[in-house]
């Protein structure tokens, strides 16, 4: 593949994807202000590098909720990898495992939890949870995640309804006939508008509150991360309610348009969390410099959304591996040029 950075993936993948699939992956909500700002905010930050520090080796390894990661980058949950490649999430988890990092499997994956686990028995696997209106469905899904050895649950908390992604509304987005929502063996409804929007409205418990976090904690011993936190007060409440991690995310600009860029809210959230639990950040991470900026401002690790989907469309498992290794090389180069020898030692003074 002659792709040399993650930003190039999107245009190359566009040629490989059905228009409706590309639109589903690429879109943000409404005017896509937040989608753009996730990237722009990274560009606004500068790295105040140091010199003459004499380091000859560098370590990218880090630890996250008991896992040793080869680099502070993991895979964010995204739905429907089957739109990108026939191997779907099986390719993604194999690439994550080969890269020494975690794959977070979406509730709405095309492959089931069991299929994904079978594809890579030793991989580090987290499971993203949307709660269902029918509590027994949620409970069964959690039991299945536990049974396949998922080591954390990621409760997405920014979806009291699906954000208005206008391309999906216009396209009447639904799954092609050969694809299913693997964990439920069902498909998206054909409606006038976004089929995913209708599915979410009909199936997910939308009015979730802190009592639901308490419920989830009461039914599982797995650590629970709260994904979709952008307000420091919610981060504080999350820690208070026993979250094992705070996942700073605006859903890649797909939910509330005009929500702040994640990197902009990270410092205040890190201040409030004060090291009590790890922080994961996603949204617009494309460069090694983005990763290092996020670490400097308080994240333990970052997660990748769309680049994984583009890479999958281009070349399945090998494509995702290529993307992860490009980013690894960039993180390493950034660390070297900043005058640091260990990702765990990157601190706030680096961004001024």
Ligand X SMILES: Cc1cc2nc3c(=O)[nH]c(=O)nc-3n(C[C@H](O)[C@H](O)[C@H](O)COP(=O)(O)O)c2cc1C
Residues belonging to the active site: 251
**Per-residue interface string for the shown chain with ligand X, residues 187-226, x marking contact by CB under 6 A:** ----------------------------------------
**Listed ranges 74-82, 216-224, 230-238, 333-341: which one lies at the site for ligand X (CB under 6 A):** 74-82
Q: Which residues pair with 204 in a beta bridge?
A: 132
- Considering only 78, 92, 259, 317, the residue that binds ligand X (CB under 6 A) is 78
Q: Tokens 């939890």 map to which residue? A: 113
* Residue of the chain from 164, 306, 322, 328 that contacts ligand X (CB under 6 A): 306
Beta carbon nearer to ligand X, 59 or 115: 115
Per CB under 6 A, the segment of 6-14, 73-81, 163-171, 325-333 that binds ligand X is: 73-81
User: Does 259 help bind ligand X (rule: CB under 6 A)?
Assistant: no
Angle at the Cα of 218 from the Cα atoms of 73 and 93, rounded to 5 degrees = 30
289: alpha, beta or left, given left = phi > 0 and alpha = psi -120 to 50?
alpha
User: Where does this chain touch ligand X (CB under 6 A) — which range of 188-196, 218-226, 246-254, 330-338?
Assistant: 246-254
Q: Are 60 and 52 in contact (CB under 8 A)?
A: no
For position 81 contacting ligand X by CB under 6 A, the verdict is: no
Decide: is 112 part of the binding site for ligand X (CB under 6 A). Answer: no
**Is residue 82 close enough to count as binding ligand X by CB under 6 A?**
no
> How many other C-beta atoms can be found within 10 angstroms of the C-beta atom of residue 170?
12
What is the radius of gyration, based on Cα positions, of the chain? 19
Q: Does 25 bind ligand X (CB under 6 A)?
A: yes
CB 103 within 8 A of CB 131: no
Residue 315 parent element (H or E)? helix 306-338
Q: Which residue has the tokens 């990621």?
A: 154
């Amino acid at each position: 593949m002659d792709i040399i950075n993650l930003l190039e993936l999107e245009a190359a993948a566009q040629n490989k994807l059905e228009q409706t699939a590309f639109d589903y992956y690429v879109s943000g909500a409404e005017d896509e202000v937040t989608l753009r700002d996730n990237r722009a905010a990274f560009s606004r930050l500068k790295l105040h590098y140091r010199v003459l520090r004499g380091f000859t080796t560098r370590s990218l390894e880090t630890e996250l909720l008991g896992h040793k990661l080869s680099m502070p980058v993991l895979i964010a949950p995204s739905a429907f990898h089957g739109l990108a490649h026939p191997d779907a999430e099986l390719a993604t988890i194999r690439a994550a495992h080969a890269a020494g990092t975690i794959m977070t499997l979406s509730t709405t994956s095309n492959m089931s939890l069991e299929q994904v686990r079978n594809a890579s028995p030793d991989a580090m696997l987290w499971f993203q949870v949307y709660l269902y209106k029918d509590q027994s469905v949620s409970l069964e899904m959690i039991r299945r995640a536990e049974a396949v050895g998922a080591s954390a649950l990621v409760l997405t908390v920014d979806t009291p309804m699906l954000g208005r992604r206008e391309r999906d509304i216009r396209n009447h987005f639904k799954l092609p006939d050969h694809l299913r929502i693997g964990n439920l063996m069902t498909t998206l409804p054909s409606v006038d508008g976004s089929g995913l929007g209708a599915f979410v409205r009909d199936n997910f418990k939308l009015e979730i509150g802190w009592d639901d976090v308490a419920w989830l904690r009461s039914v599982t011993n797995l650590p629970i991360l709260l994904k979709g936190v952008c307000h420091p007060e919610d981060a504080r409440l999350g820690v208070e309610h026993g979250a094992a991690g705070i996942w700073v995310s605006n859903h890649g600009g797909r939910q509330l348009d005009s929500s702040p860029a994640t990197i902009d809210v990270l410092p205040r959230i890190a201040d409030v969390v004060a090291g009590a639990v790890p922080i994961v950040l996603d949204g617009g991470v494309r460069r090694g410099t983005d990763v290092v900026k996020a670490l400097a401002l308080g994240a333990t690790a970052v997660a990748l959304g769309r680049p994984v989907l583009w890479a999958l469309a281009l070349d399945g498992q090998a494509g995702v591996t290529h993307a992860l290794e490009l980013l690894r090389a960039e993180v390493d180069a950034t660390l070297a040029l900043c005058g640091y020898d260990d990702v765990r030692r990157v601190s706030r003074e680096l961004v001024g």
